[in-house]
A and B are shown apart, each in its own frame.
Chain A
Amino acid sequence: DSGVTQTPKHLITATGQRVTLRCSPRSGDLSVYWYQQSLDQGLQFLIQYYNGEERAKGNILERFSAQQFPDLHSELNLSSLELGDSALYFCASSVDGLTEAFFGQGTRLTVV
C-alpha cells in the first residue's frame, strides 16, 4: 500500500457526461500528480499541484481540469467525455514534487 488513495476504482459513464476523480495523497506529501494511462499512449503526464497551486501542466485537454484543496486532496474533473477518454487515471504524490512519487491504484474510466 503506497498510502495514496484514489476513488472510485472503476467508473463507467456515457459520452458527453462529466466525472470527478478523487485522490488523497500520502500523509505529509504536498505534491500531487495526475497521469493518464491508455493502451496505446503509455503514461501521459496531465498536471501537477504543489500545496494547492498548479506547478506544471502536461498534455491535459481543455475539457479536463483539476484542483488541489487546502487539505491537499485533489480532484480531476473530466467533462464532455469522449470514447477516447477511456483510460486508467493515476494519481501520485511526493513530498516536494522533486523526488520519488508514490502512486495510487488508479481509477479505470470507461466511456460508452
Chain B
Amino acid sequence: AQRVTQPEKLLSVFKGAPVELKCNYSYSGSPELFWYVQYSRQRLQLLLRHISRESIKGFTADLNKGETSFHLKKPFAQEEDSAMYYCALPGGFKTIFGAGTRLFVKA
C-alpha cells in the first residue's frame, strides 16, 4: 500500500541552524515525490519535486530509494521558513500526503 510517513509533528530550530524534515514512503514502483509548504493556514503550495532536482528557497530534497526516503533539507534556517511542510506521493489517481511537520524557526 502507498504510504507517506513524516515522523515528526513539530520541529523547532534556531535561526541559522540546519534543518532536516524527514519523509519516508512506501510505494511499489518508481515514485515521484513532492514537498508542499503551508504558511499560516494558507493554501498549500508546491515547494519542490524530486524529478526536477531543483532548490527552492534554499531547500533541497534527495530521493533515496534504498532508504525509501525523501528528506527536506536546508543548511541555514530562516524565520520565514516557519510553516507546515507536507511530503506527498502522487499515484493511483490520488495524491497521498504525510501528516505534516510544523517547522518553527526561533530567532
Query: How many A-B contacts are there with CB distance less than 8 Å?
Result: 61
Residue of A nearest to B92 (CB): A56
**In the complex, what residues of B have CB within 8 A of residue A33's CB?**
94-95
**In the complex, what residues of B have CB within 8 A of residue A100's CB?**
34, 46, 49, 90
| Residue B13 lies at the interface, judged by CB distance under 8 Å to chain A | no
Listed in ascending order, the chain B residues whose CB lies under 8 Å from chain A are 32, 34, 36, 41-46, 49, 86, 88, 90-100
Chain B: minimal CB distance from A5 (Å): 11
**In the complex, what residues of A have CB within 8 A of residue B99's CB?**
42-43
| Interface locus among A12-20, A78-86, A101-109 | A101-109
Task: Identify which of A102, A103, A104 gathers the most chain B CB atoms within 10 Å of its CB.
Answer: A103
**In the complex, what residues of A have CB within 8 A of residue B88's CB?**
101
Known contacts A42-B99, A42-B100; decide if A90 and B93 are in contact (CB<8 Å): no
CB-based contact A88/B41 at 8 Å = yes
Residue of A nearest to B96 (CB): A45
